[in-house]
Structure 1
């Protein structure tokens, strides 16, 4: 049956002007198809920024087939920014059905091989999210808003887990905590401690915050090396806007302000204030003595 259906779908893609590639995922698990049982999931990549087609389910030769359309540019951005967790699983479980320009092969290579360039960028983005959760949790804790602090500490722990998985060279997946338990059981223990430890919720939050300060922020130079490499490769001073634009060159929206601020505190980056008329602007450059391991591999 597969030998009949696949060529039919491929032929359909060849005649669809918006289709730039397609992946086939046979017998996909229910959690990959929104709990809708199908025999075949077809992920179609569109050259359009907003595909006219979204999703459809139909029957072909007694097979129940679901097609899902996604913009190729959005797919590249979302797998780095973790905006579409299902997409990573589809790519990992799929086989290339149609790829005239080899764009799908490039995308699958990023997820399956996780090249250093993309791993560095993704770690940097996760670090920014972790710093945001860290600051928000501390703030809510200070105001006595325990439930809000707990929410953000959970998000921060997830970011920490994702950083540990990436540091081990793997791409974070939907079963993140299974990955973390195997690769870094210490972080998984903190996750369990937060959920069911013997201390009060407030004490558990404070303990996790201390653990993050020690284990993550002390490795700021490693997790944030994408930004440090930018500063190293192009000498001179950068504005925060320029750094945000550089990391967001593939359609990503990232705010590096907390990360750069932390790098300044730790003397990794120097902040320079430029005065122009009545306006001043903060610009940043790598400290003159260099950064240990900034080039990385």
Structure 2
């Protein structure tokens, strides 16, 4: 197969913009990891007009796909976890071209998973976990049990991913296999939700209570990245300053719910600043020192 694909990638490999090329072959008859294609060529380039370029081929009754992604897009996928299979591609794919050992350095970084990268990913997962939990709780309180079920499943996924990252691993597509070995109590919660014999409202009630406890017990770990950034200056922060800080921009819409949760739990305190309006104050935020 590699020989057949060589004309497709060889010309691009000679271009100075190309950083590395990987080949990923289908392992199973139904293979979502390759979108059911027989083989994927994954190419990383320094810059690309589009964030992602995809082209499909057919050769000798086999299907192949070429994916070209910019370094910026790749970094976003890895940090935000929005394309988890790309981690598998980088770690397990066959290297066809590697300029200045770009792919091997990237592979090493993924396997080592440096502490600073872990803290950011934990923070992002924790913020998403809180949002899903609160939205699900609101549906549950309103007796919309199916919607509540959907949100608690997603919150458990974020909790599972957070646990895997905290143990120094990247969450894989088969995250529940990882969690079963790493933190079986989270896996047990998931089993109780999807396999329990009790009525759905009773299962949800127990899960929300357990989830609330698990979220709170992980708050200091989950908020570590945000708190460390906020402690970089002594003055209180406006929300807009946080939202546009380079180290916090990836939190996006989930930053607000994380900040309010940390205020509620006593990790952040609100400082009121008088505006021109009578009785109207700006809300500023500051880290509460550990006791």
How many angstroms does 1:270 deviate by? 1.5
Deviation at 1:102, TM superposition (A): 5.2
Match of 2:197 in 1: 198
Stretch of structure 1 that moved more, 117-126 or 99-108: 99-108
1:291 corresponds to 2:274? no
Q: How has the CA–CA distance of structure 1 residues 28 and 241 changed in structure 2, closer, same or farther, with 3 Å as cutoff?
A: farther
**Structure 1 residues not aligned, in runs of 5+:** 293-297
Alignment of 1:40-119 (within 5 A): 41-46=40-45, 47-51=47-51, 53-59=53-59, 65-100=64-99, 103-119=102-118
1:57-89 Cα offsets, whole Å, 9 max, x none, are 2549x9865321222211111222121122122
| SS of corresponding position for 1:53 | strand
Residue aligning to 1:261: 260
Matched, 1:275 2:274: yes
Residues 252, 142 of structure 1: alpha-carbon distance in 2 compared, 3 angstrom cutoff: closer
Taking the aligned partners of 1:69 and 1:281, their CA distance within structure 2 comes to 46
User: Matches of residues 100-179 of structure 1 in structure 2 within 5 Å?
Assistant: 100=99, 103-179=102-178
Under a length normalisation based on structure 2, what TM-score does the superposition of the two structures give?
A: 0.86
For residues 109-164 of structure 1, what are the alpha-carbon distances to aligned partners after superposition, in whole Å with 9 as ceiling and x for unaligned? 34222111111111111111111111111111111111100100110010111111
Summarize the Cα distance change of 1:52–1:128 in structure 2 as closer, same or farther, 3 Å threshold.
closer
Deviating more after overlay: 64-73 vs 8-17: 8-17
* Conserved? CA contact 2:21–2:97, under 8 Å: yes
Contact 2:37 2:65 in 1 (8 A): no
Alpha carbons of structure 1 residues 228 and 100: separation in structure 2 relative to 1, 3 Å = same
Q: In the TM superposition, what are the counterparts of 1:211-222 in structure 2 within 5 Å?
A: 211-222=210-221
Give 1:7 deviation, angstroms: 7.3
Is residue 31 from structure 1 mapped to residue 32 from structure 2 by the alignment?
yes
CA contact 2:193–2:203 (8 Å) conserved in 1: yes
The DSSP-based 3-state class of the residue aligned with 1:136 is helix
Listed one character per residue, the Cα deviations across residues 148-207 of structure 1 (whole Å, up to 9, x for unaligned) are 001001100101111111111111000011111111111111111001212211111111
In structure 2, what is the Cα distance between the partners aligned to 1:92 and 1:52?
A: 20
Shift of 1:209: 1.0
Moved more, 9-18 or 135-144: 9-18
Please say if residues 21 and 42 of structure 2, whose CA atoms lie closer than 8 Å, have aligned partners that are also in contact.
Answer: yes
Question: How far is the alpha carbon of 1:226 from its aligned partner?
Answer: 0.2
Q: CA RMSD in A?
A: 2.7
Identify the range of structure 1 (211-220 vs 26-35) with the bigger mean alpha-carbon deviation. 26-35
- 1:160–1:11 distance in 2 versus 1, CA, 3 Å: same
Distance change >3 Å, CA 149–CA 64, structure 1 → 2: closer
**Shift in alpha-carbon separation, 1:213–1:83, aligned structure 2, 3 A:** same
Give the Cα separation in 1 of the matches to 2:255 and 2:249.
Answer: 16
- Aligned residues, how many? 286
- Equivalent residue of 1:255, what SS? helix
